[in-house]
Amino acid sequence: MSDQQIIFTKNAPAAVGPYSQAIKTPNMIYCSGQIPLTPEGELVEGSITAQTEQACKNAKAVLEEAGSELAKVVKTTIFISDMAHFAELNAEYEKWFSHKPARSCVAVKTLPKNVDVEIEVIALP
């Protein structure tokens, strides 16, 4: 475990379970899924645009704490509550990930706190 570092920042919401915000290895950073919670734990409700923006802000904060940045993201996984949100989500997502990392997007029945989006990222250090 010595080559793995647990990442924690107060600039993103704390993990709500037995997991880390991210794990940094010498070659990769694995970020846990980010939902639209503020760093203070307040839920961002409303449009998928607003929720996606907050999830991306959280991912950015975690990566920065790990010494990386969104431009170094190589893979994202997005969970959304309804594929009807796909186009609106993409419009906001594109602002944060213009370098077009590999991506999966899956509609799921329920997400934590009944939000509409969760985004996890894998990035280079």
The answer to whether residues 123 and 29 touch, using CB atoms and an 8 Å cutoff, is yes
Q: Which residues of 1-28 are buried (b: 16+ CB within 10 A; e: fewer)?
A: eeeebebebeebbeeeeeebbbbbeeee
Among 50, 105, 111, 122, which one carries the catalytic annotation? 105
Q: Which residue has the tokens 């907050």?
A: 54
Burial of 116 (0-12, 13-18, 19+ CB in 10 A): buried
The question of whether 31 is a catalytic residue gets the answer: no
Catalytic residues: 105
